[in-house]
Amino acid sequence: METVRFGVLGTAQIGINSVIPGLQKSNYCQVKAIASRTLEKAQQAAEQLNIKKSYGLYEDLLNDDEIDAVYIPLPNHLHVPWSIKALQAGKHVLCEKPVALNTREVEELQRAVESSKGLKCMEAFMYRFHPQWRYVKEIINSGKIGKIRALYSTFTYHNTDPDNIRNKYAEGGGGLMDIGCYCISTSRFILNMEPDKVVGELKYDPDFNIDNHGNCLMDFDDKTASFIYGTQQYGQQEVVIQGTLGKIIIDQPFTPPADEIINIYLIHDDQKEVIEIKPADQYRLQADEFARSILDNNPLAYSLQDSYNNMKIIDAMFESSKKGEWVTI
């Protein structure tokens, strides 16, 4: 097998606009088919993206022998059920974040992978594959900012559309699941450790019944990581890594444009250094990494254990907000 042949379950915009084009740009992937709950929507997406096959049933795509792997951008509450069905059909799985609704679901998915005879399943946290993070880690390892003491992150946007999946509680909507999870993941990714305890205060939209704002703090022994997320406020993304001798600012940490130079700011010795990062498509890089893992039969860059650890903190944040106290991890 020289390339991995993908099918796509669903026509969500993240897939249409970003992930599928990234798969198509990869030298290691082919997108062979797309399915939707209605054949017409699948046909429209297939025509738009020059995909050969379209299906009006997800099951029909899973029964296609020409498909090696599936990408799943379905609503959050469908991630685990359809990931398991795909694994049972003999397909590798790249599933959108959050991969599950809670840790119990992640454990269910882990059991399905373990019994699948070598199939791979990865959560699509695409930001980690952008080269800017390699430079960030190189700066940290160089000692230029000293020892990390604190990490701050922000991820916000404005969306009050009642028909948007992010605002539907029954389908796994809400800000912590949609964007707060990035802030948690980034903190763990940069600090390379798990928090001891967490505390969070979440605010809820009275009409949608989803969390639309949160202030959260994670304790990592001698370090802290805090973040703010919001779904009904001015859009912003930023990560600040504070060390004993300086700091790093990443102002496009999660969704940097694929066709633009982006900057990392390093502040140390009373000077501000601008580090330019060449344009990069993190969706293509994610596709490359996932496909190479399949083709070479190598371990995934990020296993479902990483997904479990992230979800454990999400669960704890909901619990902390409800109880109004710290929760031990």
Residue type, 329: I
User: Where in the chain are all domains bearing CATH 3.30.360.10?
Assistant: 131-279+311-328
**Which of helix, strand or coil describes residue 253?**
coil
Q: How many CB atoms lie within 10 A of CB 2?
A: 7
User: Pick from 256, 260, 285, 301: which is nearest to 27 by CA?
Assistant: 285
Q: Which among 277, 278, 276, 295 is positioned nearest to 287, based on CA atoms?
A: 295
Token digits of residue 181: 């999870």
Q: What's domain 4-127+284-298's architecture?
A: 3-Layer(aba) Sandwich (3.40)
Residue 85 above 90 pLDDT?
yes
- What is the pLDDT, as a whole number, of residue 202? 98
Return residue ranges of the chain for CATH 3.40.50.720.
4-127+284-298
Q: What is the pLDDT of residues 265-304, one digit of tens each?
A: 999 998 999 999 999 999 999 999 999 999 999 999 999 9
Topology annotation, domain 131-279+311-328: Dihydrodipicolinate Reductase; domain 2 (3.30.360)
Q: CB neighbours (10 Å) of residue 176?
A: 25
pTM: 0.96
3-class DSSP assignment, residue 301:
coil
The three state secondary structure string of 150-207 is EEEEEEEEECCCCCCHHHCHHHCCCHHHHHHHHHHHHHHHHHCCCCCEEEEEEEECCC
Average pLDDT, the chain: 97
User: Could you tell me which of 223, 227, 217, 239 has the C-alpha nearest to residue 316?
Assistant: 217
- Phi, psi dihedral angles at 265 (to 5 degrees): -110, 125
Q: Which two tokens stand for residue 61?
A: 């795509």
154-190: per-residue pLDDT in tens?
Answer: 999 999 999 999 999 999 999 999 999 999 999 999 9
pLDDT, tens digit, 9 for 90 and up, residues 44-68:
999 999 999 999 999 999 999 999 9
Q: How many CA atoms lie within 13 A of 68 on its CB side?
A: 15
> Residue 165's closest CA among 8, 322, 10, 312?
10
